[in-house]
């Protein structure tokens, strides 16, 4: 009952980082090895077998705008946590391919063993590398229909000569990691345009006020997405006010304030929601509705309190 973990997509210029997590649970699958040593056809065959036979598997996705916001190292931690959160079966040990324990700052960190070339040596890690590779490659192939002319299905986001030529001819897309050195020159001129083109279910790229606060807001937005919300805005602001997250669920527009505390020794984040703050939130919500010309829609204010060095949602309250 080993939980094997491996990542795909650390180095590409475009597309998500994906972490696979697999518990074989006694399943015996012939041919498991490092996904890079398999043909595409064989990976697809094994992916189907893995999903059918194993006790549990999960995929943790971190998209380009999140990588740009928190950096690659933190993105690896986020993706690993997201993959592990999907595992609902028991396991007694966690093995991560490589030398870094991406769960070190969580309550699962003590159960982790890191191992070089674990994707060659440990069957559950091999399986994790395969499901992550197939999932990411399939996603990038689908982007060919969205962003024609970039060839995402062939180079899957890596910095090939063809990819570089496509960027020079067409510019960057919301899939591109503008924090990566070869693409940084595009960041200032395109950020506003890209923000309007990112999927409504994906938190937008923003300038973080601080590293942990930015991570907390990303996790809060993804928590809302898991609860069925479509994210309309993140850090919507005017010179008069700011709203952390605006989301839509069942025809109700939610205006959510995110409050993060590293620990709850001084009280959780909800302690900061004073009467004055509530009035500011109501004003901001009314201004947003007016500016977007929203009519005949229910509105709700909410607060998400988050704590921890790996921020988690402690409490979510819908106020009115």
161 assigned to some structural domain: no
Separation between Cα atoms, residue 81 and residue 151, nearest integer Å: 31
Residue 241 has pLDDT above 90, yes or no: no
Check whether residue 123 and residue 217 sit in a common domain: no
Helix 211-226 vs helix 72-85: crossing angle, to nearest 10: 30
Three-state DSSP at 6 gives strand
Residue 264 has pLDDT above 90, yes or no: no
Check whether residue 27 and residue 127 sit in a common domain: yes
pLDDT, tens digit, for every residue of 114-157? 999 999 999 999 999 999 999 999 989 988 888 889 999 999 99
- The CATH number of whichever domain residue 245 belongs to comes to 3.40.1350.10
Separation between Cα atoms, residue 48 and residue 31, nearest integer Å: 13
**Residue 36: DSSP 8-state:** G
Residue 309 has pLDDT above 80, yes or no: no
Identify whether the C-beta of residue 91 lies closer than 8 Å to the C-beta of residue 128: no
Tell me what the pLDDT averaged over the chain comes to.
85
pLDDT, tens digit, for every residue of 39-88? 999 999 999 999 999 999 999 999 898 899 899 999 999 999 999 999 99
Per-residue exposure over 143-178, b if at least 16 CB sit within 10 Å of its own CB, e if not = beeebeebbbeebbbebeeebeebbeeeebbbbbbb
Position 193 scores a pLDDT of 44
Select from 5, 61, 18, 22 the least CA-distant residue to 225: 61
pLDDT, tens digit, for every residue of 185-231? 888 654 434 433 333 333 333 333 456 777 788 888 888 888 888 88
Q: How confident is the model at residue 270 (pLDDT cuts 50, 70, 90)?
A: low
Select from 46, 51, 48 the least CA-distant residue to 21: 51
Select from 81, 111, 110, 83 the least CA-distant residue to 1: 111
Check whether residue 42 and residue 137 sit in a common domain: yes
The boundaries of the domain holding residue 90 are: 2-143
Check whether residue 88 and residue 218 sit in a common domain: no
Evaluate the CA torsion angle 95, 99, 105, 109 in order and state its sign: positive
Of residues 315 and 30, more confidently modeled? 30
Check whether residue 118 and residue 243 sit in a common domain: no
Check whether residue 26 and residue 110 sit in a common domain: yes
Check whether residue 23 and residue 122 sit in a common domain: yes
40 assigned to some structural domain: yes
67 assigned to some structural domain: yes
Give me the number of domains the chain comprises. Answer: 2
185 assigned to some structural domain: no
Residue 15 has pLDDT above 60, yes or no: yes
Check whether residue 113 and residue 220 sit in a common domain: no
pLDDT > 90: percent of the chain: 55
Greatest CA span in the chain, whole angstroms? 63
Select from 147, 148, 132, 152 the least CA-distant residue to 13: 152
Pair type for strands 230-237 and 242-249? antiparallel
């Amino acid at each position: 009952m080993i939980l094997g973990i491996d990542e795909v997509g650390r180095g590409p210029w475009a597309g998500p980082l994906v972490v696979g997590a697999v518990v074989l649970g006694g399943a015996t699958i012939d041919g498991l090895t490092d996904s890079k040593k398999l043909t595409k056809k064989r990976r697809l065959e094994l992916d189907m077998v893995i999903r059918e036979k194993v006790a549990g598997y999960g995929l943790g996705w971190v998209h380009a705008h999140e990588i740009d916001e928190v950096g690659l190292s933190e993105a690896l931690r986020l993706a690993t946590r997201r993959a592990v959160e999907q595992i609902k079966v028991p396991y007694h040990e966690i093995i991560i391919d490589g030398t870094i324990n991406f769960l070190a700052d969580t309550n699962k960190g003590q159960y982790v063993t890191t191992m070089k070339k674990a994707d060659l040596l440990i069957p559950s890690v091999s399986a994790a590398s395969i499901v992550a590779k197939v999932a990411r490659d399939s996603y990038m192939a689908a982007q060919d229909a969205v962003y024609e002319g970039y060839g995402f299905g062939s180079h899957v986001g890596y910095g090939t000569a063809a990819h570089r030529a496509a960027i020079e001819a067409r510019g960057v897309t919301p899939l591109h990691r503008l924090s990566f050195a070869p693409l940084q020159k595009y960041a200032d001129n395109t950020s506003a345009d890209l923000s309007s083109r990112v999927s409504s279910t994906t938190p937008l790229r923003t300038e973080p006020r601080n590293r942990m606060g930015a991570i907390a807001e990303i996790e809060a937005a993804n928590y809302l997405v898991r609860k069925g919300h479509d994210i309309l805005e993140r850090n919507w602001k005017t010179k008069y006010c700011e709203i952390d997250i605006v989301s839509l669920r069942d025809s109700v527009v939610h205006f959510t304030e995110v409050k993060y505390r590293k620990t709850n020794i001084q009280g959780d984040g909800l302690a900061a929601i004073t009467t004055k703050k509530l009035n500011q939130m109501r004003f901001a919500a009314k201004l947003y509705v007016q500016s977007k010309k929203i009519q005949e829609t229910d509105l709700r204010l909410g607060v998400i309190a988050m704590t921890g060095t790996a921020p988690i949602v402690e409490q979510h309250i819908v106020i009115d």
